[in-house]
Structure 1
Amino acid sequence: MPTLLVGYYGFSNAGDEHLLKKTLSLLNSLEKNSKITTLLPSNRKKIWGLISTIYTCDRVVLGGGSLLQTRTSKKSLYYYLFILGLAIFLKKPCYGLGIGVGPIDDPVSRWLTNRVLSRFESISFRDDLSFTEFSAFPQRALLGSDLLFYKFKPFKPAYNSNGPVGVSLNTNIETEENINDINDLLNDSFPWVGIAAHLGVDDVMLNSVDVKGEYLEDLLEGRYDDNVVYSCIISSRYHTCLWAAAAGVPFISIGLDPKCVSLSILFGQEHRFSITEEIIDDIEHVCSQADKYIRALKKGVDTAILRSKVHASVLNPTLSIFGFDVSTMPLSSVLHTLKKESEQQKLTRLITLNPQMIMDCEKDKQLNDWVKKANLIVADGQGVVMASKLIWKKDISPVTGIDLVEGVCELGGKVFLIGASKEGISLSVDSLKTRYQDLEVCGYSTGYLTPEQEFEVIEKIKESQPTFIFVGMGFPRQEYFIQELERAGVIGVVIGVGGVFDVFSGQFSRAPSWVRSLRCEWLYRGAKQPERILKWGFLPKYLYKLGKHLIEK
């Protein structure tokens, strides 16, 4: 899926470059060979090219890091808000992966940031402070951790009680005077070495006081030997603190940045708001109580690893509509998910949910529970789309049975079709084969079956081993049939598609594209098939249920 990845990448900041690798790894693990355009120095100032990329992509992902803040630059905040706001205006799904937000000082910037984040499909925050402050806006805001801990591979331990003190200061904020203060303070008490997080910036400042050390990039990549050890680390750099925690080195975070404070809280470490003489007492205290702080680090790392698991779920968000977890993914994402599921040796169920199904499920608890346990539920019906908009203020795109059949057939592969009359299903097969040259129809059957015939069809499905199985018997008959497929141990992706074969056979025509764009296909079908209107008795009950839910909410 074409994706625009937004972040502060390509500026030799070790933490951000490591985040880029982690984010790309996560995206590629969810979608192999995905087309990802990354915001880099080479393209971030080419506004028209950037607008074109946003227009042609299918989604925008805000990568890990603290991009939405005014501490370093208000201009950068508005730059990122412009990109995200344009994506939202163009109705591109936006997601946040392991993001930190703030500090944002002025009320106008906070209001704009709130407005943009409220339109995201889903967000995972990397720290408690960001999550607490902004989690009220997206329906699915998740508390995660820094992406450093996603699929975490332990670092080589770097603690040694006899090692030097490691110092890593944010030289975009700290001054040469601060470095000299540290130098004067530590030289009288502790041997110390520098840790440069921003190549070409931090190392230059350290060289000005004739201090050598390690590059954070090497530490984050695990490129260090047994001689690289520290008794303690003091740092105003977020990712240096993270590496220290992961490598088992007690640290003292420095500065007014809330994200460094949150790290000290998570990992049970000390924090100082400024560099004063008391830092010497803090270092002595931490070194004398190293075992306690190392135990706290281990506990914090375990928590961070556990929290990091939520990041993978961000790109597959759902909304709870009357207890049904309805996917908000566009059709392209749904098709990608189905393709990935088809590679697994199991039965995957997709439910195309509409208001009639919701009301019918109320009458049958077992069926209700079974439907809710489907691997994926999509909104097939304007009643469900309307509910998402009224309940969650989310305008999700409907994914109809016809859309799914057409999309899956474009993927190619083996399919098995069940539904309609004998003539109808035969005509549908001919139509689909004509339209999709790479499609292999390995079997088909009418949907009007006796119990004995159902058994025979299930055996044919097991023998032919299709990748996708379309069952068009109407609800709830098709669901009962799919239950039998499940009991028989059938493998593949099975989708209940209702009466779509009546369209593919040519018995009924689909609504024109302009009618579908107005989301009035249901009204068109009612006008073309007046007998369908007699089945709309559930609508007043559904509207009453929705209204009651909104009042109670």
Structure 2
Amino acid sequence: MENNRVKSPEPAQVLDLPVHLCDDYPGWLLHLLREKRGAHVVTLNAEMTMQAREHPALAEAIRRADLVIPDGSGVVLYLQWQGYQIQRFPGIELAQTLLYRLPEFSLSEGVSRGVFFYGGEPGVAQDAAQMWRQQCPDLAIAVQHGYLSEDEQDNLLDTLKEKQPHLIYVGLGVPRQELWIAQHRCLCPGSIWIGVGGSFDIWAGRKDRAPVWLRDRHLEWVYRLYQEPSRWRRMLALPRFAWLSFTQSF
């Protein structure tokens, strides 16, 4: 299916996981909202790919997602090696673009169901939402931190079911956020659900993104390791991904 401007995403494969290739990911998702169709969006990188090989439930959630975008440099380089013309599209940039475009979309559609931020430490999602309210005063954002009791979790699900937000951003970390979305997306079938990892921390000013010159050289992981040295064990997934990609290619 196509609208006048946006071509349907085309599937590719990275180590047995799907990645969807599209010229305009935000435009495609807004097209789905116009059609009153929701989506589970996964932002795939090398670390998540390796986790999925050891976590069958995560692999299944990725395969069942409606849109898997090339978030990580390893995924992009793998696909370029396979001959695809593709550029990296970080999940945080997809999430930001949708937030900028949602007020105009809501105005054109005559309805505003707003945005929901769920996850992070107490206060982080609230600060992230406040930053976005300053950037986009017409953006209605509700928030809930990620440290909930069982009763609070039930209340959250009731709230989502009642509000039916256009966008639901879940920042619980991988694989928890992907599994949580896969389990609960049926509550808001017309919403766009995205696992946004640490984006709330960046929007709230708790952390910084890597400088553009590092991002452009596929070295954002170096800056993350500099900010959080404790990530070094997780970063071991990167050479494992590279070696597996090389050996499977031959």
TM-score band by shorter chain is 0.7 to 0.9
Deviates more, 1:453-462 or 1:338-347: 338-347
User: Where in structure 2 are the equivalents of 1:393-412 lying within 5 Å?
Assistant: 393-412=83-102
Q: Which amino acid aligns with 1:31?
A: N
CA shift for structure 1 position 324: 2.0
Measured at CA, do residues 335 and 487 of structure 1 come closer, stay the same or move farther in structure 2, by a change above 3 Å? closer
Q: Deviation string for 1:48-74 (max 9, x for gaps)?
A: xxxxxxxxxxxxxxxxxxxxxxxxxxx
1:342 maps to 33
2:118 maps to 418
Measured at CA, do residues 541 and 513 of structure 1 come closer, stay the same or move farther in structure 2, by a change above 3 Å? closer
The answer to whether the Cα contact below 8 Å between 2:17 and 2:59 also exists between their aligned partners in 1 is no
The answer to whether structure 1 residue 374 and structure 2 residue 65 are counterparts is: yes
Show structure 2 runs of 5+ residues with no match.
Answer: 104-113
Alpha-carbon distance in 2 for matches of 1:315, 1:490: 20
Q: Deviation string for 1:173-210 (max 9, x for gaps)?
A: xxxxxxxxxxxxxxxxxxxxxxxxxxxxxxxxxxxxxx
Q: Percent identity?
A: 25
Q: Which amino acid aligns with 2:3?
A: E
The answer to whether structure 1 residue 530 and structure 2 residue 223 are counterparts is: no
Query: Which of 470, 490, 509 in structure 1 is aligned with 2:208?
Result: 509
Q: Which amino acid aligns with 1:359?
A: M
User: Where in structure 2 are the equivalents of 1:189-338 lying within 5 Å?
Assistant: 315-330=8-23, 333-338=24-29
Alpha-carbon distance in 2 for matches of 1:537, 1:514: 23
CA shift for structure 1 position 454: 2.1
Runs of 4+ in 1 over 6 A off after TM superposition: none
Q: Which has the higher contact order (CA 8 A, sep 6+)?
A: 2
Equivalent residues, number: 240
Q: Secondary structure at the match of 1:30?
A: coil
TM-score (norm 2): 0.88
The answer to whether the Cα contact below 8 Å between 2:40 and 2:182 also exists between their aligned partners in 1 is no
1:547 maps to 246
User: Where in structure 2 are the equivalents of 1:12-411 lying within 5 Å?
Assistant: 30-32=2-4, 34=5, 315-330=8-23, 333-390=24-81, 392-411=82-101
CA shift for structure 1 position 487: 4.3
User: Where in structure 2 are the equivalents of 1:437-476 lying within 5 Å?
Assistant: 437-441=137-141, 443-476=142-175
Show structure 1 runs of 5+ residues with no match.
Answer: 1-28, 35-311
1:429 maps to 129
CA shift for structure 1 position 346: 4.2
Q: Deviation string for 1:486-541 (max 9, x for gaps)?
A: 34454301011111111001011112222222232222222222222232122232
Alpha-carbon distance in 1 for matches of 2:204, 2:41: 23
Alpha-carbon distance in 1 for matches of 2:56, 2:118: 26
Alpha-carbon distance in 2 for matches of 1:355, 1:367: 14
The answer to whether the Cα contact below 8 Å between 2:18 and 2:62 also exists between their aligned partners in 1 is no
Rg: which structure is higher? 1
Alpha-carbon distance in 1 for matches of 2:3, 2:35: 14
The CA RMSD over aligned residues, in Å, is 2.0
Alpha-carbon distance in 2 for matches of 1:431, 1:386: 33
TM-score (norm 1): 0.41
Alpha-carbon distance in 2 for matches of 1:539, 1:513: 21
